[in-house]
Amino acid sequence: MISFALHNLRHRKASFAGAFLALLCAAALVCAFGTLLETGLRGTVSAARYAGTPVIVAGDQNVRETIRKSEDKVKVKAKPIAERAWIAAGLAGRLREVPGVTSVVTEVTFPAYLTGESSGTAAEPGASASQVSPPVPLLGHGWESAALTPFTLAEGRAPAADDEVVTDAATGLRVGSRVTIQSTATPRVYRVAGVTAQALENQPTIFFSTAEARRLAGRPGLVSAIGVFPATDVTAALKDASAPDPAAQAPAAMKGAVAVAYTGAARGPLEFLDADKSRIKLISLGGALGGTSLLVAIIVVVGTFALSIQQRLREIALLRAVAATPGQIRKMIGCEALLIGLPAGAAGALLGTGLALWLRARFVELGAMPVNLDLVVSPFPIIVAVLATVAAAWTAARVSARRTARVRPVEALGDAGPGPARLPVVRVLAGLGCVAGGVTLTIVLSTLSSEAASSPVTMLTALIWAVAVALLGPVVARILVAVPALLLRASGAGGYLAAANLLTGARRLASVIAPLTLMVTMTCTILFVQDTTGHAAAGQLRDGTRAAHVLGPRVPTTAVEAVRRAPGVTAVTEVLHTTVRIGLAKHGAQAVTPAGLGQTTDLGVSSGSIGLLAEDTVAVSEKLGFEVGDRIGLTLGDGTPASLKVVATYTRNLGFGDLTLARGLVAAHVDNPLSDTVLVAGSSAAGLAKALRNFPGIAVADRATVVAEREQAGAEINYVAMGLIIAFTAIAVVNTLAMATSDRAREFALLRLVGTTRRQVLRMLRLETLSVVAVSVLLGTAAALVTISAFSVGMTGSALPYVPPLTYALIVAGAVILAWAATGVPARFALRGRPADTIGARE
């Protein structure tokens, strides 16, 4: 059978090119997403600043929970915290006493922003959001920690006064320059006393005097890390020295986190705190999208092989007529699939490696992945992609050939026309099973209220509905094309022919409707899920914000006090966003100043009173299931535990977070205590600008501007990754339609011989294409709407999703253009020759 398969491949290159292309794209997607998954699982983050320090003692960056499964089986789970855990500065003295330690260096790390030079590059205070130039982000340290890297001076000297700084070589500043720095306190003008000879990639650094750095960090008695330089292996001794000191008399808030010694590869994630979050994101993204792309690939490849085999019914019938058995036919088609799948899988896997590199570059550019997290390129994703592609090809070929191989020769010769009136029982049962699965998943999806839980279920639900359409395609096609067929009968010769083809070619129509429906379903689901969440969050933010003006970003307390004193100001609310954990579950939270909160914000309180908010209480979203009076044990951003009493529940969690805390409680446990935004009731933009004249870089925006920015934010990562799957389905649409149209060359020639003009044939084809697109858009939209409505019920409480009309119109237009190009171009090539030559030509 291999020789027959090779013969078929040589002489039917055009028919098998479509299957090869589909498999190639499938392998590329599986390999790319598999590489991302492996990077999340095995990738390491290289240390930059700490690369020259053998041991770093710092706080434990995880919250841990002990789970007792039985008396003898105990499991400890750990999840990363969002902010840096600080440790007691006094620990440095204990570490110096450890035998074998030659040097100990303390460090404080905090964010700083270069907002301008004395030459006048600083933004005008109180400018609108569109006028404020973005500040340059830096990492601030005390000069004593320069020895960790180590940094050396290229020119100038170390900072000797509190108003002096040393910048790294990447900033481009010169000794003597005067710069405005906004850190965790009021902006201040500093003089550049020195410039280092070194600079770290993607980590611009600025050094302050030791006393100034400690003041700006705002953590008295604490440091972010301690570098240890031992002469010998002192790991065990460091572990004992890092243990909590039971005799410490410092206040509970200042004792710091549990200290841990980090060495080797563990130093990188400590330096780049977002690394673990990025790895988790890659694991979920790679796994979910890898599985999605594989399922999409199976749907596409099965459809492509089914169409390819359908086009060869007469050839297979002749083989049956010369005594070929059904088993031999199936074996031949299986060999063809293997001969196509192996090279397509290998080439696609190599292409997928390059695609993974491109994805990594895009993720780094979007800030979703640290530059120091190197992509793991190994044989495993390549092998998996090749095996998955070959398995998909072989399975698709065998499934597609199942009925064809068993048909009798005479029936097969007659079967090359309109196709059977009934679907196989197995296919009908599988289709009905997918419908039942779609209904079940839709119900489950409507109960999920977190994006992390609902996202994978959303894509799976949309795929199951698309598979149901593919399996029941011929039946669905016969029913849905009846209406356009009736309308087309009265529209001339081209319309009459199009109607005839629509009514008699249900099997062929089903093979082209399936990928079109899949493309519309996937595209609508991917885009409108994000739009639904963003629109609901923006709506809650718009309805819940009573303040007329919003200030930001990074507003210091002194600027807030100046605003409070501005004429006409009736209420000011400082807002600081963070992440907390209840148990191990992560929740977004906002920390606000309680005074005057009712005048600036309406959280949609459903029970209790937001006026009781204090440092020992909390307001929560009603979706969390707590009631007023309950006590919640949670972990703040830097790992500090807190027990708070619930004083209110509210409904606008998408706009304001799952929890609302007092800013006084949270500010001491985040890396940057400056307010992200400040809500101001009363006054005018001009009055606020005047009050902020001494605070460069703070923008004054109205509520509409902030809401518009919120609606547009946050979906770039998913769009980049899921866009590849949309592109794959678009390629499959073009591929399938082109194959189906090219196979009709003899039909077109016969129409020409009986007097149909070339123009009438093309019009017939255009009307058919428009009818097929209309049916596919209808089915795809229905499948997507059912899925997105269920998602919306769970996430927003409303069954009405948000569908931007312009975006939907562009999706429909894209489907029309793709279908028109994929049918029109092959048809024009098919109509170029003389009809008699086309009918007499060999396939």
Whole-Å CA distances, 704 to 129, 548, 698: 12, 9, 18
Digit-coded pLDDT (tens) for 494-506 = 677 777 777 776 6
DSSP string, 90-102: THHHHHHTSTTEE
Q: Are strands 110-117 and 225-230 parallel, antiparallel or unpaired?
A: unpaired
In angstroms, how far apart are the furthest CA atoms of the chain? 103
Number of C-beta neighbours around residue 201 at 10 A: 9
Q: Dihedral through CA 251, CA 257, CA 259, CA 262, nearest 10?
A: -150
Residue 629 makes CB contacts below 8 A (sequence gap 6+) with 645, 646
pTM of the model: 0.79
Strand partners, 156: 194
Find residue 681's DSSP bridge partners: 571
Q: What are the tokens at 526?
A: 């991917």
Q: For residue 232, give the 3-state DSSP assignment.
A: coil
**Containing H/E element for 782?**
helix 758-796
Q: Distance between CA 507 and CA 715 in Å, rounded?
A: 39
Residue 198 phi, psi dihedral angles, 5° rounding: -110, 160
In 161-224, at which residue ranges do the beta strands (DSSP E only) sit?
164-167, 178-182, 188-196, 205-208, 222-223
Give the whole-angstrom CA distance, residue 446 versus residue 454. 9
Q: Give 432-438's long-range contacts (Cβ < 8 A, gap of 24+).
A: 432/472, 434/464, 434/465, 434/467, 434/468, 434/471, 435/468, 435/472, 437/464, 437/468, 438/464, 438/465, 438/468, 438/783, 438/786
User: Which amino acid is it at 836?
Assistant: A
| Helix, strand, coil distribution of the chain in percent, nearest 5 | 55, 20, 25
SS3 for 668? helix
CB neighbours (10 Å) of residue 594?
Answer: 20
Distance of alpha carbon 430 from alpha carbon 119, whole angstroms: 72
Cα angle: 152, vertex 154, 156; to 5 degrees = 100
> Using an 8 Å Cβ cutoff, are 636 and 253 in contact?
no
- How large is the angle between the packed helices 326-365 and 379-406, nearest 10 degrees? 150
Q: Residues 623, 653: contact at Cβ < 8 Å?
A: yes
> Cα(730)–Cα(739) distance, rounded to whole angstroms?
14
CA–CA dist 413, 317 (Å, integer): 6
* Nearest CA-CA partner of 548 in 342, 395, 704: 704
Residue 672 exposed, middle or buried by CB count within 10 Å (0-12, 13-18, 19+): middle
Mean pLDDT per 10-residue segment, the chain (843 residues):
61 67 85 88 85 90 81 81 90 87 92 71 42 72 90 92 92 89 87 92 89 91 91 64 49 64 88 81 78 74 69 69 72 79 89 89 78 85 88 76 62 50 76 92 90 83 88 79 73 72 70 83 88 87 89 87 89 92 91 92 93 94 92 92 94 92 92 90 83 80 71 61 77 76 74 78 81 88 93 89 91 88 78 62 48
Amino acid letter, residue 699: A
Residue type, 385: A
Six-digit token pair at 18?
A: 């479509």
How many angstroms separate the CA atoms of 454 and 549, rounded?
34
Can you tell me whether residue 131 is helix, strand or coil? coil
Let me know: does 324 contact 401? Beta carbons within 8 Å: no
Residue 489 and residue 501 in contact, taking contact as beta carbons nearer than 8 Å: no
Residue type, 55: V
Integer Cα distance of 33 and 38 in angstroms: 9
Starting at the edge strand found earlier in the chain, the sheet holding 225-230 runs: 101-107, 225-230, 55-59, 259-263
Element (H, E) at 680: strand 677-682
Contact 613, 662 (CB under 8 A): yes
Token look-up 């090539």 returns 829
Structure tokens at 572: 């000011």
* DSSP symbols for 459-480: HHHHHHHHHHHHHTHHHHHHHH
Please, what is the end-to-end C-alpha distance for the chain in angstroms?
20
Distance of CA 32 to the CA centre of its chain: 15
% of the chain residues with pLDDT over 90: 25
Separation between Cα atoms, residue 251 and residue 161, nearest integer Å? 30
Please give the full DSSP string across 711-755, using - where no structure is assigned. Answer: HH-S-HHHHHHHHHHHHHHHHHHHHHHHHHHHTTHHHHHHHHHTT
177 vs 170: CA distance, rounded Å: 15
Cα(676)–Cα(691) distance, rounded to whole angstroms? 18
